[in-house]
Amino acid sequence: MLRKRARRVDKGKAAGTRSKTRKGPARDPEHLAKVREHLCLVASYSDLWVACMGPIEAHHVRSISPRSMGRRISDYLTAPLCRGHHTQFYCSAHGKEGEEAFWVYYKIDPRVFIRTFSEEGRQAIAELKTGVGNE
């Protein structure tokens, strides 16, 4: 006979809510929405002529974060890619070449966009250099 597992609810806080002192990378849906308003980085910054396909998506740039293997990174470390290049990116990123090969092929440094796009992005990159944040 199967038993239902009882849900554990801490007294003093509603089920499904998180504590305010959450550890981990910064989350900002409004920032992601602003990133999605930009043109695809490949079409904007690449020396190659490329056509973009589909809506813009916010890509979390994992290659600039040393501890990002298997972990989420800050929403401030994002770059706009069209759906076509985002899909191509994931095909190459999870293949033999890796994420760096994608940026090298198109001759793009996503850190340039992140630094110039917002103050939070500039701070997130500075924290990566000093080893603070993204814990």
60 within 8 A of 124, measured Cβ to Cβ: no
pLDDT tens for each residue of 98-118: 778 888 888 888 889 999 998
Average pLDDT over residues 18-34: 76
Q: What is the pLDDT of residue 69?
A: 56
Planar angle of CA 40, 45, 48, nearest 5 degrees: 100
* Better-scored residue on pLDDT, 23 or 37: 37
pTM metric for this prediction: 0.70
Domains of the chain, residue spans: 29-130
Average pLDDT over residues 65-75: 70
Q: Which helix (H) or strand (E) holds 81?
A: strand 78-82
Q: What is the pLDDT of residue 128?
A: 78
